[in-house]
Structure 1
Amino acid sequence: MSSIVEDPAIPLIGMPSTRQSQYLATNNNKHDNRHSSKHVAKVGSRLACRKDLFLQRKRLCEASLLLAVAGIALMMLENELVVHNVIARSEADSIVLKLAVTATTVGCLATLMWYHVVDVRLFIVNNSMADWRLAVTPGRVASVCVELAVCAVHPIPGEYYVSWMTTDSDNHLTAQKVMVPLDVVLSLPMFLRLYLLLRYITLHSRLFASSPSIGVLNRVRFNFRFIFKSIMALHPGYALSLFMLSFFLLASWSLRLCEVYNDATHARVHGDFLNSMWVVASTFLTIGYGDIVPNSVCGRGVAVMSGVMGAGCTALVVAVLARKLELSSAERHVHDFVLEAHIGKRLKNKAANVIKRAWRLFKLNKEAAAKEVERGLIRTLDCRMLKEQSRLQRAIHGMREVRTEKRRLRGSAMPMLDVLRVQTEIATQLGEVRTRQQGLEDKVGRLEDTMLRVYDKLCFVSGDSGHGCRC
């Protein structure tokens, strides 16, 4: 590690010579001018090197992604031409295309190696390390080896075959062995190179490029996980639709490539790209009609992956829809205000009904107690009193229900986050009030001292210092 201790008071970028001289003049007790100038030059060179390494790493990421996508495109072109019998695997056209794929693979591996070298240099600069071996950890070495192994897989020039087992689902699940070109086994893993797209999104994100120091201070790592959460928070529908469409097309093409080398009957069915899209769609949406099913192990693996990704994407769609259907803060306040006004009107009506029923019951009781009437009239009054008592009970119960509904609305109107925000705002305002109060008290104290000094001077001038004047 470097023995230089950086002072945070030194500006890191763009220190003018005048400010630098002022800073050096005020720190003579700590360092001499010669040591401070070297220190500032050291920090400036490190920052310039760090900026260059950032740009270089971004360019290498772009180059590696471009070469990886070019290799995938050439691989798909060569397989399509062979499947449609335009060219043969032993012809020169196929060999040229595969050599181009090999060239892009070699270039991708070279750019990846240089990318990790730049990454290690950037790590050394950021942590002020003196030896590069401190940055090369076993975990970093393992990750580099895995990346190189993934990106090194590609179809080789020539015509080679392997055998795998397929199951005839239309003939009592009979198994048979078929010969499949080796290019199928080596072509599908090339789609794993698309992980470089995630790295490209991370390095070219506005969050990553703006100020990663904010994330360091808040203990947040600017990796793809954080960037993906940010994208899903800002544009969930666009990101999810693009991902589902891309996966759907790649899975359909992969399933078609796996199943096109079966027997003649199944090859004719699965050789159609639309049929493969139908199988992937029914599996992705967890429907599974079963009219067309994959027969090879490779095709079944693609179907399993489609089902798993379909379940995950369905959960994400439900979460996005639930968040979209949720009312915003302003909408919720307006909604609660309108409901509270409506409930207030209902509560007034219920209270008026209670008063009306109670008043009628009071009149009937007063009428029955004041008059001595016949027996039939007393029975009539008793029936009317029972009806009014029943109506009064129903009115009281309705008023209580409206009160409970209003209380429930007030309880759900302000969630816990709003309460915390209001408390924070109140605490901030109280702090500002206390600060202003303290400043006002200081001003009043200084004003009192000034008035006393003015009073003393006036007393001294008038010659009445011994008659009531302050000494």
Structure 2
Amino acid sequence: MRSFEYSIHDIIEEEGSDWDSRESGGADRSRASRPSVYGKRYGVAMSNAETVRQRWKMRRKLTDLKVKLCDVTLVLAISGLILAMLDVEFTATRILERFVSTSDLSFILRSTAIVTTIALLFFLLFYHFIDIKIQLVETGTSNWRVGITSERVLNTMLELAICAICPIPETGFVAWPQLSNIAEKTRQYVNIPISVLLTLPMFLRFYITCRYMVLHSSQHQDTATRTIASLNHIAVDFRFVLKSEMYERPLFVLSMASLLFWCVVSWMLTQCERFAYPSISGFQHFADYLWFEIITFFSIGYGDVQVNTYCGRGLAMLTAIVGTLFSSTLIALISRKLILTSSEKRVNHIIAENKITNEHKNAAACVLQNTWRTVLRSRDYQKSSSRRNHHKLAKSQRILLCSVLTFRKTRWKLRMQLEEEDDYFTARRAFNETEDRLQKVRQRQSQLDGKISALFENVETLTQAVMARKCYLRQ
């Protein structure tokens, strides 16, 4: 923690002195001495390797500080949420069981939650300040207006608004309408503390967990991965990290996300519904609504547990939507796991093709055997046209017809199997056929070369004989 404070102090001093020097030194330095790119005052020229090294060290230091700030904001956000949840439980116990001695403890918990919230807001602002500084170092500019865009300002204000929600001491109650199939109960109202309603939106602080996953992921920490991603115009953000984790460990990610969602929404449903039924304990409420969450998540809905408030109905609809998305994703992942790989398809294809080929050969052999038997029976019938020979001839003809039909079926199966083969087998078969044809062409070419060589030798022999004959005639 001491090194973390020193690093923050060094960055603030370095940044303040840098910006003060830019503000005060503008009038002293000449216009020509300012760094410029393409004739404009934007960017910093890196003329030597020392400047590049310094900027790389600066960026590395800022990146490490950014990761530490993300860890601190996550700890503060979770701590404030846990304190608010404890306060809600103590408040519910004090109201439903009329136990007054926990009021001081509730005040202490809310005050501590407010302190952690203020610290969280400060560290969030400092986190975005460091993020802007990293962008300025990466772009090589000294103008801070480049890093502050309207989108960044809106995102920062939205984060501050989400993280600023926390229970306040000495808050009152709000009338909560109770919904039921009975008309008398529908007109009733239940008083719920405002601190409970302020605690429910605090679960939106879990977005910091997504940022923590990105900054601590192997894709973001590996420089080669970030470089290849930037070259392919891919941002290493939460979407990319989540898709990578889903591709590598889909069941683990879905299981952990489902369990966390069930527990959080069950606790929220307990706070929305527990004041309508003060006779039931809080743990019993939580167990019932955990069962309700799981049943609604998978779109079963037995109807044994119902919600009686608008807050509960809203959370039930959210559960149904999220459950539908998770179920479809789970089905897609299971179907992807059940798909055979190319190697497995090749093994099955080879086995099936060999089996059908053997059946086709056996069917062809049966056709030949039955044809020969039919010819023999027809000769016997021609020699002696008895009733016995007639039955034998008819029987052999029926067997021949059945064997012909079996041969046609196996030939059709073999043709369909060849048509269903994948691209690998098609390319491999075409390669083998091309290789056989090239082999035949090479053999014919070698034979032709031998014949041409023999013809050339004969022509040479004939030429020498003619020349010898001419010399003899001249003499």
Question: Which residue number in structure 2 is paired with residue 398 of structure 1?
Answer: 409
SS in 2 for 1:179: strand
SS in 1 for 2:178: strand
Query: What is the letter of the counterpart of residue 254 of structure 2?
Result: L
Q: How many residues align?
A: 387
Pairing partner for 1:222 from 236, 240, 260: 236
Q: How does 1:123-138 map to 2 (within 5 A)?
A: 123-138=135-150
Structure-2-length-normalised TM-score: 0.74
Pairing partner for 2:50 from 14, 37, 41: 41
More deviation, 102-111/79-88: 79-88
Measure how far apart 1:263 and its partner are: 4.8
SS in 2 for 1:289: coil
Pairing partner for 1:291 from 304, 328, 332: 304
In the alignment, is the contact (CA less than 8 A) between 1:283 and 1:306 conserved in 2? yes
Q: 1:304 to 1:89 in 2, by over 3 A?
A: farther
SS in 1 for 2:188: strand
Pairing partner for 2:274 from 251, 255, 260: 260
Distance 2:405 2:425 in 1: 33
Measure how far apart 1:124 and its partner are: 1.3
Q: CA deviation digits over 1:339-381, x for unaligned, max 9?
A: 333333323322322332333344445666xx45437578546
Identity %: 29
Question: Which residue number in structure 2 is paired with residue 450 of structure 1?
Answer: none
Structure-1-length-normalised TM-score: 0.74
Q: CA deviation digits over 1:84-136, x for unaligned, max 9?
A: 33865982211110011111111111111111111111111111223111221
Unaligned runs of 5+ in 1: 6-34, 424-471
Pairing partner for 1:56 from 65, 86, 106: 65
Question: Which residue number in structure 1 is paired with residue 295 of structure 2?
Answer: 282
Question: Which residue number in structure 2 is paired with residue 349 of structure 1?
Answer: 362
Question: Which residue number in structure 2 is paired with residue 69 of structure 1?
Answer: 78
1:307 aligned onto 2:307: no
Unaligned runs of 5+ in 2: 1-33, 39-43, 432-475
Distance 1:270 1:171 in 2: 29
Q: 1:82 to 1:89 in 2, by over 3 A?
A: farther
In the alignment, is the contact (CA less than 8 A) between 1:350 and 1:398 conserved in 2? no
In the alignment, is the contact (CA less than 8 A) between 1:120 and 1:135 conserved in 2? yes
Question: Which residue number in structure 2 is paired with residue 155 of structure 1?
Answer: 167
Q: CA deviation digits over 1:255-305, x for unaligned, max 9?
A: 00110111546x669962211112112111211111221111111111111
In the alignment, is the contact (CA less than 8 A) between 2:380 and 2:389 conserved in 1? no
In the alignment, is the contact (CA less than 8 A) between 2:77 and 2:205 conserved in 1? yes
1:333 aligned onto 2:307: no
SS in 2 for 1:306: helix
In the alignment, is the contact (CA less than 8 A) between 2:37 and 2:45 conserved in 1? no
1:118 aligned onto 2:130: yes
In the alignment, is the contact (CA less than 8 A) between 1:259 and 1:271 conserved in 2? no
Query: What is the letter of the counterpart of residue 50 of structure 2?
Result: A
SS in 2 for 1:168: coil
Query: What is the letter of the counterpart of residue 351 of structure 2?
Result: V
Query: What is the letter of the counterpart of residue 80 of structure 1?
Result: E
Question: Which residue number in structure 1 is paired with residue 454 of structure 2?
Answer: none
Question: Which residue number in structure 1 is paired with residue 249 of structure 2?
Answer: 235
Measured on the aligned residues, the alpha-carbon RMSD in Å equals 3.1
Measure how far apart 1:310 and its partner are: 1.1
Distance 1:397 1:254 in 2: 68
Distance 1:64 1:96 in 2: 21
Pairing partner for 2:189 from 177, 187, 190: 177
Question: Which residue number in structure 1 is paired with residue 203 of structure 2?
Answer: 191
Distance 1:91 1:374 in 2: 117
Q: 1:398 to 1:172 in 2, by over 3 A?
A: farther
Measure how far apart 1:146 and its partner are: 0.7
Q: 1:391 to 1:360 in 2, by over 3 A?
A: farther
Query: What is the letter of the counterpart of residue 262 of structure 1?
Result: A
More deviation, 195-204/74-83: 74-83
